[in-house]
Amino acid sequence: MTGKSDEKVLSERKNALTAIQSIYPENEIDLIDNFIADFKGDYIERVGETVKLLSQADIVIFTEDWALSKGCRIEHFVCQECEVPFFVINNLSNQGE
């Protein structure tokens, strides 16, 4: 995500997963790994790969400042247009710590 270190993105994702697991404790939550650290293609190819992963998701989770990232805005648009369920988790700073 724009302006965030890899460590920050991975930490937020871990906290989001913890939050989702607490909301749905009876459900098995499988994370689709869309973090591509060493992607060799250009930006559009990278976004294309993450958009393809949306087709595998039952639900998509966006973290609080997703709208600051061009890639997240594209993914959010795809979710809206293709009717992929999603929601936003805010205030993750205290989750999982």
Helix/strand/coil (H/E/C) assignment for every residue in the chain = CCCCCHHHHHHHHHHHHHHHHHHCCCCCCCCCCCCCCCCCCCHHHHHHHHHHHHCCCCCEEEECCHHHCHHHHHHHHHHHHHCCCEEEECCHHHCCC
pTM, 2 dp? 0.80
pLDDT digits (tens, 9 = 90+) for 52-92: 999 999 999 998 889 999 999 999 999 999 999 998 988 76
Question: Where do the domains of the chain lie?
Answer: 6-94
pLDDT digits (tens, 9 = 90+) for 23-45: 889 988 888 888 877 778 888 99
